[in-house]
Amino acid sequence: MSLQVIGDPVLHSKSPVIHGAMLAALGLDIPYTAHVVRRGELPEYLFWAKTNGVTGFNATMPHKEDLIPLLDEIHPAAKAVGAVNTVCLRHGRWTGFNTDGGGAVAALKDGLGMDPNRLTVTLLGAGGAAKAAALALSQAGAKQVFICNRTLGRAEELCAHDPLKRLTPAAFDVDTLSNLAAKSQLLVNCTNLGMEGCPSQFEDFAFLNALPSAAGVFDLIYHPAETELLAQARRRGLRTLNGLPMLVNQAVLALEHFLDRSLDRRPMAAVATNALRGEGT
């Protein structure tokens, strides 16, 4: 039995650190390694993995969507998102899961003490991470999630995937963001604005002024540990959370799928977080 993370590039991935620490804490001698798989090589990889003792793997760019038609079974949450990040071999069949949304909800509960149930949320972005987070928030009982994107059509497309009809498309300009923030208890950034190495930044942070004083600001970015969005929110007295708890919690959920058993999530998340801190993350 062995586990991997695949992607291209992937050798920078922190998944071996996270999963290695959790497996060690559980007393399990199961190797977890990074494996470069380029776009177009997935069919060959799946055959190789099945014949070489790989019983599960995590997937990152560019494979999360490309895996869908190649797997034997897709979990409903992954099917709704249209992407998988966790794949398990069970009874000779590859089954795909998506733990990003569950990781985001768990991070909110642990990091901000916020249960999505009945919350009104302003969510920025309409890409893959936004879709996973938005659908998970809807499923967890959010009252309404405004999906703000510069290209409104992409926001509308995302909202169309929510069977509960709790997602609402919206524009990304400062006036719209301010109007929506005033109605929201939580703001979630799923864009790459402020990410390390990304030249783009928010043009104006005035919309943060409209958030209620008890609101939370959750940025899925974890490099840097405090984006300018979070710094601006903190200066306004708002509660803030970066993307590290989501990274850790989605990994805990993935490990539950790999082992096909429930784990005590918070101690496992603490083990993974400590391992990352030891790496200087």
Cβ burial 209-218 (10 Å sphere, 16+ → b, else e): ebbeeebbbb
Pairing of strands 86-90, 93-97: antiparallel
pLDDT tens digits for 195-235? Answer: 988 888 999 999 999 999 999 999 999 989 999 999 999 99
pLDDT value for 197: 85
Residue 247 structure tokens:
């990274």
Cβ burial 12-38 (10 Å sphere, 16+ → b, else e): ebbbbbbbbbbbebeeeebebbbbebe
Proportion of the chain above pLDDT 70, given as a percent:
99
14, 64, 109, 165: the active-site residue: 64
- The average pLDDT across 95-106 equals 97
**pLDDT above 90 for 188:** yes
Give the DSSP H/E element, type plus range, for residue 81.
helix 76-81
What is d(CA 7, CA 206) in angstroms, rounded to the nearest whole number?
Answer: 38
pLDDT value for 60: 93
**pLDDT above 80 for 146:** yes
Q: How confident is the model at residue 281 (pLDDT cuts 50, 70, 90)?
A: low
pLDDT tens digits for 239-249? Answer: 999 999 999 99
- pLDDT averaged over the chain? 96
Spell out the SS3 assignment of 129-181: HHHHHHHHHHHCCCCEEEEECCCHHHHHHHHCCCCCCCEEEECCCHHHHHHHH
Query: Residues 263, 244, 202, CA angle at the centre, nearest 5°?
Result: 150
- The average pLDDT across 53-65 equals 95
- The average pLDDT across 56-85 equals 95
Tell me how far CA of residue 173 lies from CA of 59, 179, 207, 279, in angstroms: 34, 10, 9, 38
Q: How confident is the model at residue 280 (pLDDT cuts 50, 70, 90)?
A: low
Q: How confident is the model at residue 138 (pLDDT cuts 50, 70, 90)?
A: very high
DSSP string, 247-264: HHHHHHHHHHHHHTS---
Q: Is residue 50 among the annotated active site residues?
A: no
